[in-house]
Amino acid sequence: MLGYYAIKFFSKLLCIAPKWFCNSFANMLGSLAIVFAPAWREKMGIDNIQDCLGVNETRAKEIYEASLKRFGRMVVEVLRFPLLHQNNIHELVKVEGLEYLSEAYKMDKGVIMCTGHYGNWELLGATVALLGYPMLSITRKQNNGAMDKLINEFRQMVGQKVTYNQGGHEILAISRMLKDKNLLGVLYDQDTNADGIHCDIFGKASVVPMGAAALSRMHGSPILPIFLHNNADGTCTAKIYPPLFTAKTKDKEKDFYDITRKLITVLEHEIIESPEMWFWAHDRWKDGREKYGPKKH
């Protein structure tokens, strides 16, 4: 629990600290992330960047380090959640495409908000909740109970509701929540091994979660891709795309694939536009530790 109370202390400190201190603290955390990240993650990240984006090794390393360093800013933004409320969220986050969210919500079929490990996805959920929408985050329970409790406290203080991924019963449980007209926040760039949709990302074989596609087909719910970008002045911009819908033909598997392909195309576009916003240190293709980690003898 020591870590829990230490982070709560830093949260209180950053909420009263001047902007220059918060920026310096974020830069320090980002630099430490680069220094202490395992060497195998760096090698994996650089190779994946070269494979996906076709850049040289020098540029790939720049993107990798910028991707890690931005996590200092992300941490500070989350630790300052106690300062956020409905009247000031627009000062920190500008929203493009808010009309798409408004129109989708009026359909009364729930809304599936799809994003990735891109930008500050925690601030993205907070923004939607503080705009007055019933935002429900589907999350995986952390191995560390104290840290799990902590991050959920920060989510809830900005109006988000939280539920855990229930494994094999996930679709049925989330389906009931969608019927209650919640907005579901889904990270769709994780590899789900064998129980998802096989769809390449940048030409690399991937298995993508099927939840968004299945729920949209089941309920006719709109899927809204949404991504958060950092701005140089310390603000962020949330970009909401027009709604997508899963078709409902006799070929269910094709319906799932077609909508997933559209979502992956949006993700690829976002990554190409701002490659440092994606978390390249994440073992997205589930082969990083095996290929790049310490070899056992």
pLDDT digits (tens, 9 = 90+) for 9-53: 999 999 999 999 999 999 999 999 999 999 999 999 999 999 999
Phi then psi dihedrals of residue 249, to 5 deg:
-105, -170
Place of tokens 């106690």: 82
pLDDT at 297: 42
10 residue type, one letter = F
Q: Would the CA dihedral through 108, 114, 115, 116 be positive or negative?
A: positive
Q: What does the pLDDT look like over 74-132, one tens digit per residue?
A: 999 999 999 999 999 999 999 999 999 999 999 999 999 999 999 999 999 999 999 99
Q: Residue 193 pLDDT more than 60?
A: yes
pLDDT at 143: 73
Residue 289 pLDDT level (bands cut at 50, 70, 90): confident
Q: Give the residue-averaged pLDDT of 204-211.
A: 91
Better-scored residue on pLDDT, 172 or 100: 100
Residue 295 pLDDT level (bands cut at 50, 70, 90): low
pLDDT at 211: 87
Q: Percent of the chain scored above 70 by pLDDT?
A: 95
Q: Residue 214 pLDDT more than 80?
A: yes
pTM for the predicted model, two decimal places = 0.91
Rounded to whole angstroms, how far apart are CA atoms 149 and 272? 35
Lowest-pLDDT range, 128-132, 147-151, 275-279? 147-151
pLDDT at 161: 85
Q: Percent of the chain scored above 90 by pLDDT?
A: 74
- Residues 6 or more apart whose CB falls under 8 angstroms from that of 72 comprise 25, 26, 27, 28, 29, 30, 31, 32, 33
Rounded to whole angstroms, how far apart are CA atoms 80 and 13? 9
Residue 178 pLDDT level (bands cut at 50, 70, 90): confident
Q: Is 197 exposed, middle or buried (0-12, 13-18, 19+ CB in 10 A)?
A: buried
Better-scored residue on pLDDT, 73 or 146: 73
Cβ atoms of 125 and 135 closer than 8 Å: yes
Residue 146 pLDDT level (bands cut at 50, 70, 90): confident
pLDDT at 194: 65
The SS3 call for residue 28 is helix
Phi then psi dihedrals of residue 220, to 5 deg:
75, 20
